[in-house]
């Protein structure tokens, strides 16, 4: 009886042991193995996010890098966007995060301020970047990331809906917020309420344009909020007005369209205009099947030179502060952003290249809506507003928090003043953490 | 009541002696005990310790005593998430279990196409929480979705059920009830375990259908009802996936579906405030613990064990 | 399906559930009742089938039309979505299906063995600290995963097990799914103790009682455990995402997420096609598992 018991226990133990002997381990079990493995070759881990097409493009660039750098073996650890940052934070907590990591600008400040990232100094060449693009990834303490590619906020207009409503496309170099609102309301009216003139403005970025046109910024250089509740209340009052005049769909529709790009009103041919990052042009065009044109966001003054346009990196490359391969890591980043080989591999899948040489080199190789986005970014390069201060830690939640409070206004559950107060109070607490 | 006499008779021979402490029990328990010591206990204790710290995952945690718990007192969104979760537990669990039990009893009676019905009824529970499924549920409860198309036939103009703050939570509860397959399967398995001899005895005694259900089926599956109740309450308090996919992880619209664990996740991973998230987790553990304890206490009065 | 129906019919004669009906002489009323019952069930089934039908229809829609068409009407089916989806990712989709299957199989075996053992101890044996340990077991599932995963990751990382299947399957061999332990405890307690006693008188020890008496009678609970383990493990996204770093090892949910891009284009047709495909194994597993569900005491002719 006792021996049977022992056998049973042993059976389980054997099962456990058998599994731990690597019978069941897929792929390479060596994850802590950054560093030399004796033969002078270095294994470097690189994490990135995006859909699989984009990852396969990055992979092609990595292959080119490995060929150009003998003895460096790059191990790509890429996933979809969902959960990417959860995984990254967990890896940092355990001290086994990859050497090179892809971040977005919301999280860069978070990671930099908390000492997770290596200061890059001048190790990555940004001389062929525009000044504004080069400044992305830097904080008051130095450089912690390099833009992998650039996006900018655009208004995508569905020309089919403009035609159907018998409305001319606006002149996007001169239009104002008021004209935008009027145009939106007109389209809704002319369609007999079948369509709407405008998607809800992509909340956080639209607010940022609005603020910059008032000579303000999202954040100050000291990492505090760069605006007062009344500034936000003005913008929310504007949105509320658009909702009331019929220019925007009802709040519940906005909520439903908020998730995937292809679900948005412009993509489903329900809304004539919407706010999107330039990287979305392809997806929207493909989903709607209509002719989609890129417009500049409106301004307060009536001149797009004052519209406060800015670049936002699609993503940034950074180096883990604990990396034992910092040299190889910076060489990798340099290769990714400055070499034409890498540029030709990734094209615009990481946004428009910041290096103007690379941008020119790939111009002939992209077509359709990718080309349109590339041209647009080149076109507005001279019209940009002042450099944006870096996002401090705690800024990562701004877009979601603002969306929530703005929707309270559109659902008519809060006044613009109350929502603005609530938003500012919540962000202030977040930044203090 | 003759049926209960019958049951009593069946159970009578059982008052024999039970063995006292049994060392071989630890042998049977050994996998679980090893798991507890090696895998489970560490993280539980760690999360308790972290709840007294400020921990952003990137830097070492720093001790801040009860600050996280003090912060909860003035946290409006926490209060909202507690409210949402309570409503979900109080409505969702009984509705889902009631439906699951009713259908399981219905399906347990021999009938044509039984296996087919059983499989089909389980379908919605198979779907999980993938992106495609998220879109599916949003389309069904959306402004132009199935629900409103059906309502349209009878001339009612519906609203965006998941995008209206007044109805979003109830849509998720409906979705939860819809996936009653899991407890149904457990009830079915429980019903299958009732020895045929019990029913035969009852038939000999001339019991009616309702009497059989009330005095044989029901008492004999009380352990399974109890199990479902305890576990469904625990998992309802931890409800995450459905709310996450339906609201795109935001708990919106207007925080109307801000489930407790959704808020906890947002704090822990979204804002890298893992210390506070750990404190929230222990608050949840406390709440679930109290509910479970009450459940176990109350079980003495209504759960019937055959041993 | 026909054979299964036949078996379900057999069950009726052994477990003889509707004794009330047997007494009723009039057959007409009974048949009408049965018709109503089938009508109600059919209506319910339509409601239950709708989500899956919608998924299948969506998987056949032209790219992007998913969001423009809300009904079930399909005018222009595109079966090539399946071919595209199968080949869209780094590896053919079958690669991820096999990865998932490996995790699932080990998880099921682990849960069946370890949870039934623990359940037997809790349900049938007396030992010091039984109540306390049982309480601890329940408490262990009361903490949300998102808080426990970080310390747990650190633990597995220290052991060097990240990017192996160990963090995904080893816990199952150590009965960490208290859900199933508790489930089996409840079922074992439903098995009459006379059986144990009789076996003990015949000289059987606990191992013999466990393997020869309890386990055979526990089949419905074991089937339930297997089905649920399959479904939950198959659909689990977060744990494999966190623990698996090389794309070679990704499971189906992780692979499915990589169709989606938050800022760029997503191939929805391919995504839906592969989502439907990935439901197939779960459904088959359920069909197989549920046959075992009906083999309870009722059908084993136990007195």
For the stretch C199-237, pLDDT in tens is 999 988 999 999 999 999 898 899 999 999 999 999 999
Q: Tell me what pLDDT residue A21 has.
A: 39
Q: Buried b / exposed e across C146-173, counting CB within 10 Å, b at 16+?
A: bbbbbbbbbbbbeebbbbbbbbbbbbbb
Indicate the SS3 state at residue A197: strand
Token pair 């967990």 in the structure block, residue: A90
Mean pLDDT of C158-169: 93
Q: Tell me what pLDDT residue C296 has.
A: 52
- DSSP alpha helices (H): ranges in B61-157? 67-73, 76-108, 114-126, 131-141, 146-153
How far apart are the C-alpha atoms of C43 and C53, rounded to whole Å? 15
How far apart are the C-alpha atoms of C100 and A126, rounded to whole Å? 44
Q: Please indicate whether, in this complex, the C-beta atoms of A8 and B165 are within 8 angstroms of each other.
A: no
Q: Please indicate whether, in this complex, the C-beta atoms of C143 and B285 are within 8 angstroms of each other.
A: yes
Q: Tell me what pLDDT residue A212 has.
A: 94
C194 alpha-carbon distance from chain centroid = 32
Q: Tell me what pLDDT residue C27 has.
A: 64
- What pLDDT band is residue B119 in, cutting at 50, 70 and 90? confident
Q: Tell me what pLDDT residue A162 has.
A: 93
Indicate the SS3 state at residue C158: helix
Assigned CATH topology for domain A40-149+313-375? D-Maltodextrin-Binding Protein; domain 2 (3.40.190)
- Average pLDDT taken over every residue of chain B: 87
Mean pLDDT of B34-63: 93
CB neighbour list of residue B113: distance below 8 Å, 6 or more residues apart: C5, C38
How far apart are the C-alpha atoms of B214 and A109, rounded to whole Å? 64
Chain A residue nearest residue B139, CA to CA: A256
Indicate the SS3 state at residue C60: coil
Q: Tell me what pLDDT residue A419 has.
A: 96
Q: Please indicate whether, in this complex, the C-beta atoms of B203 and C148 are within 8 angstroms of each other.
A: no
Indicate the SS3 state at residue C51: helix
CATH class of the domain comprising B80-302: mainly alpha
The predicted-structure confidence for C87-104, as pLDDT tens digits, reads as follows 988 899 999 999 999 999
Contacts of B19 in chain C (CB under 8 A): 125-126
DSSP C295: -
Contacts of B165 in chain A (CB under 8 A): 411, 413
State the nearest Cα–Cα gap between C154 and chain A, in angstroms: 5
> Subunits touching C (CB < 8 Å, at least 3 pairs)?
A, B
B277 alpha-carbon distance from chain centroid = 22
Q: Tell me what pLDDT residue A2 has.
A: 36
- What pLDDT band is residue C19 in, cutting at 50, 70 and 90? very low
Contacts of A258 in chain B (CB under 8 A): 248
Contacts of A75 in chain C (CB under 8 A): 246
Q: Tell me what pLDDT residue A257 has.
A: 82
pLDDT averages per 10-residue partition of chain A, 433 residues: 39 39 38 45 92 90 93 92 92 94 90 93 92 88 93 94 92 94 94 89 90 93 92 96 93 84 88 92 87 94 89 93 94 95 92 92 88 89 86 86 93 95 93 81
Q: Tell me what pLDDT residue C266 has.
A: 80
Indicate the SS3 state at residue A193: coil
Mutate to test the interface with A, among C261, C266, C269, C275 (most CBs of A within 10 A): C261
Chain A residue nearest residue B35, CA to CA: A16
Q: Buried b / exposed e across B24-42, counting CB within 10 Å, b at 16+?
A: bbbbbbbbbbbbbeebbeb
Q: Tell me what pLDDT residue B259 has.
A: 96
The token pair that represents B193 in the structure block: 């375990």
Q: Tell me what pLDDT residue C26 has.
A: 55
Of A37-46, B81-90, B234-243, C276-285, give the range with the top mean pLDDT.
Answer: B81-90
How far apart are the C-alpha atoms of A138 and A121, rounded to whole Å? 9
CB neighbour list of residue C104: distance below 8 Å, 6 or more residues apart: C229, C230, C233, C234
Chain B residue nearest residue A398, CA to CA: B271
The token pair that represents A369 in the structure block: 């809506």
Q: Please indicate whether, in this complex, the C-beta atoms of C154 and A93 are within 8 angstroms of each other.
A: yes
The complex scores an ipTM of 0.88
Rg (CA), chain A: 24
Decide if B51 contacts B278 (C-beta within 8 A).
Answer: yes
The token pair that represents A125 in the structure block: 């060449």
How far apart are the C-alpha atoms of B140 and B179, rounded to whole Å? 14
State the nearest Cα–Cα gap between A337 and chain B, in angstroms: 27
CB neighbour list of residue A329: distance below 8 Å, 6 or more residues apart: A44, A99, A100, A118, A319, A320, A323
- What pLDDT band is residue C24 in, cutting at 50, 70 and 90? very low
The token pair that represents A5 in the structure block: 């018991």
State the nearest Cα–Cα gap between A381 and chain B, in angstroms: 33
pLDDT > 90? residue C77: no
The token pair that represents B199 in the structure block: 């029913």
State the nearest Cα–Cα gap between B244 and chain C, in angstroms: 13
Chain B residue nearest residue A399, CA to CA: B250
Q: Buried b / exposed e across B63-88, counting CB within 10 Å, b at 16+?
A: eeeeebeebeeebeebebbbebbeeb
The predicted-structure confidence for B140-171, as pLDDT tens digits, reads as follows 888 878 888 888 888 888 888 888 899 999 99
Which secondary structure element, helix H or strand E, spans residue C229, and what is its range?
A: helix C219-235
DSSP C174: T
Give the CATH number of domain A152-310+388-432; options: 1.10.3720.10, 3.30.43.10, 3.40.190.10, 3.40.50.450.
Answer: 3.40.190.10
Would you call A312 an interface residue with chain C, using a CB distance cutoff of 8 Å?
no
Least confident segment among A267-276, B264-273, C4-13: C4-13
Q: Please indicate whether, in this complex, the C-beta atoms of C261 and A283 are within 8 angstroms of each other.
A: yes
pLDDT > 90? residue B238: yes
Domain boundaries, chain A: 40-149+313-375, 152-310+388-432
Q: Please indicate whether, in this complex, the C-beta atoms of C90 and A55 are within 8 angstroms of each other.
A: yes
Residues A274, A276, A277, CA angle at the centre, nearest 5°? 165
Contacts of B134 in chain A (CB under 8 A): 259
Which residues, listed in sequence order, are joined to residue A150 by a DSSP beta bridge? A313, A352
- Closest residue to C164, CB basis, from A24, A283, A289: A24
pLDDT > 80? residue C294: no
Would you call C129 an interface residue with chain B, using a CB distance cutoff of 8 Å?
no
DSSP C34: H
Contacts of A116 in chain B (CB under 8 A): 58
- What pLDDT band is residue C295 in, cutting at 50, 70 and 90? low
> Subunits touching A (CB < 8 Å, at least 3 pairs)?
B, C
State the nearest Cα–Cα gap between A234 and chain C, in angstroms: 28
Q: Tell me what pLDDT residue B307 has.
A: 63
pLDDT > 80? residue C14: no
Q: Please indicate whether, in this complex, the C-beta atoms of B160 and A6 are within 8 angstroms of each other.
A: no
């Amino acid at each position: 009886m006792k021996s049977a018991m022992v056998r049973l226990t042993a059976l389980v133990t054997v099962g456990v042991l058998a599994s731990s002997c690597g019978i069941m381990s897929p792929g390479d079990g060596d994850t802590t193995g950054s560093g030399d493995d004796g033969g002078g070759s270095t294994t470097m881990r690189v994490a990135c996010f995006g859909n699989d097409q984009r990852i396969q493009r990055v992979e092609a660039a990595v292959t080119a890098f490995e060929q150009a750098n003998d003895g460096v073996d790059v191990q790509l650890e890429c996933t979809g966007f969902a959960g990417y940052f959860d995984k990254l934070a967990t890896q940092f907590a355990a001290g086994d995060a990859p050497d090179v990591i892809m971040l977005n600008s919301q999280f860069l400040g978070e990671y930099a301020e908390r000492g997770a990232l290596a200061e890059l100094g001048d190790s990555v060449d940004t001389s062929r970047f525009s000044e504004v693009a080069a400044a992305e990834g830097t904080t008051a303490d130095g450089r912690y990331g390099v833009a992998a590619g650039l996006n900018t906020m655009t208004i995508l207009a569905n020309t089919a809906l403009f035609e159907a409503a018998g409305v001319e496309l606006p002149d996007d170099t001169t239009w104002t917020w008021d004209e935008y609102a009027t145009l939106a309301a007109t389209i809704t009216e002319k369609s007999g309420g079948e369509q709407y003139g405008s998607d809800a403005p992509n909340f956080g970025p639209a607010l940022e344009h609005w603020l910059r046109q008032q000579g303000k910024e999202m954040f100050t250089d000291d990492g505090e909020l760069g605006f007062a509740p009344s500034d936000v209340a003005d913008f929310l009052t504007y949105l509320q007005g658009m909702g009331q005049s019929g220019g925007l769909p009802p709040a519940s529709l906005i909520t439903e369209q908020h998730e995937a790009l292809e679900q948005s009103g412009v993509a489903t041919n329900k809304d004539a205009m919407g706010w999107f990052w330039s990287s979305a042009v392809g997806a929207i065009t493909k989903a709607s099947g209509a002719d989609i044109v890129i417009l500049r966001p409106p301004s307060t003054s009536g001149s797009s030179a004052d519209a406060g346009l800015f670049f936002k990196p699609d993503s940034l490359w950074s180096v883990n502060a604990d990396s034992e391969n910092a040299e190889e890591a910076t060489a990798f980043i340099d290769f990714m952003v400055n070499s034409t080989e890498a540029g030709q591999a990734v094209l615009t899948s990481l946004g428009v290249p910041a290096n103007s040489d690379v941008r020119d080199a790939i111009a002939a190789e992209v077509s359709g809506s990718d080309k349109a986005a590339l041209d647009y970014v080149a076109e507005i390069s001279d019209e940009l507003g002042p450099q944006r201060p870096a996002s401090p830690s705690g800024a990562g939640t701004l877009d979601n928090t603002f969306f929530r409070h703005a929707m309270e206004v559109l659902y008519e559950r809060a006044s613009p003043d109350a929502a603005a107060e609530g938003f500012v109070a919540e962000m202030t607490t977040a930044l203090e953490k | 009541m003759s049926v209960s006499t019958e049951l009593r008779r069946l159970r009578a021979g059982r008052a024999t002696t039970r063995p006292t402490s049994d060392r071989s029990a630890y042998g049977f328990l050994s996998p679980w005990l090893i798991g507890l010591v090696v895998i489970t206990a560490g993280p539980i204790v760690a999360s308790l310790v972290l709840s007294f710290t400020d921990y952003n995952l990137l830097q070492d945690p720093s001790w801040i005593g009860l600050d996280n718990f003090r912060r909860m007192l003035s946290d409006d969104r926490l209060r909202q998430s507690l409210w949402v979760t309570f409503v979900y537990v109080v409505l969702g669990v009984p509705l889902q279990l009631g439906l699951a039990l009713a259908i399981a009893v219905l399906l347990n009676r021999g009938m044509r196409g039984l296996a087919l019905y059983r499989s089909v009824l389980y379908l919605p529970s198979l779907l999980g929480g993938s992106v495609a499924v998220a879109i599916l549920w949003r389309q069904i409860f959306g402004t132009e979705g199935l629900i409103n198309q059906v309502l349209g036939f009878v001339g009612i103009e519906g609203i965006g059920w998941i995008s209206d703050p007044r109805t979003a939570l109830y849509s998720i509860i409906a979705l939860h009830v819809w996936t009653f397959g899991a407890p149904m399967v457990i009830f079915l398995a429980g019903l299958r375990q009732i020895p045929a001899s019990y029913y035969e005895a009852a038939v000999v005694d001339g019991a009616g259908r309702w009497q059989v259900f009330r005095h044989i089926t029901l008492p004999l599956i009380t352990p399974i009802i109890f199990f479902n109740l305890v576990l469904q309450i625990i998992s309802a308090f931890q409800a995450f996936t459905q709310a996450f996919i339906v609201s795109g992880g935001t708990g919106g619209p207007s925080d109307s579906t801000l489930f407790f664990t959704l808020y906890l996740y947002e704090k822990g991973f979204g804002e890298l405030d893992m210390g506070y998230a750990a404190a929230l987790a222990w608050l949840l553990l406390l709440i679930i613990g109290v509910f479970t304890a009450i459940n176990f206490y109350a079980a003495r009065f209504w759960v019937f064990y055959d041993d | 399906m026909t054979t299964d129906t036949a078996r379900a019919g057999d069950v009726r004669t052994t477990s003889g559930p509707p004794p009330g009906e047997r007494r009723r002489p009039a057959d007409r009323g009974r048949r009408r009742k049965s018709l109503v019952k089938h009508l109600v069930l059919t209506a319910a089934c339509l409601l239950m089938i709708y989500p899956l039908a919608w998924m299948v229809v969506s998987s056949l829609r032209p790219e992007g039309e998913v969001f423009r068409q809300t009904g079930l009407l399909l005018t222009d089916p595109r079966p090539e979505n399946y071919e595209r989806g199968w080949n869209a990712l780094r590896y053919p989709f079958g690669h991820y299906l096999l990865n998932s299957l490996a995790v699932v199989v080990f998880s099921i075996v682990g849960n069946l063995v370890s949870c039934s053992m623990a359940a037997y101890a809790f349900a049938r044996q007396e030992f010091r600290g039984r109540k306390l340990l049982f309480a601890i077991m329940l408490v262990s599932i009361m903490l949300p995963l998102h808080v426990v995963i970080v310390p747990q990751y650190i633990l597995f990382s220290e052991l060097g097990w990240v990017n192996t299947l160990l963090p995904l399957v080893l816990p199952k061999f150590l009965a960490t799914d208290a859900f199933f332990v508790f489930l089996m405890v409840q079922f074992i307690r439903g098995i009459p103790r006379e059986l144990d006693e009789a076996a003990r008188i015949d000289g059987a020890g606990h191992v013999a009682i466990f393997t020869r008496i309890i386990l055979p009678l526990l089949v419905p609970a074991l089937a339930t455990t297997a089905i649920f383990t399959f479904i939950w493990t198959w659909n689990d996204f977060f744990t494999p995402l966190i623990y698996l770093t090389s794309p070679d090892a990704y499971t189906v949910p992780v692979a499915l997420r990589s169709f989606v891009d938050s800022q760029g284009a997503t191939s929805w047709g391919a995504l839906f096609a592969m989502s439907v495909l990935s439901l197939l194994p779960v459904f088959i597993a359920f069909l197989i598992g549920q046959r075992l569900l009906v083999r309870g005491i009722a059908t084993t002719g136990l007195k």
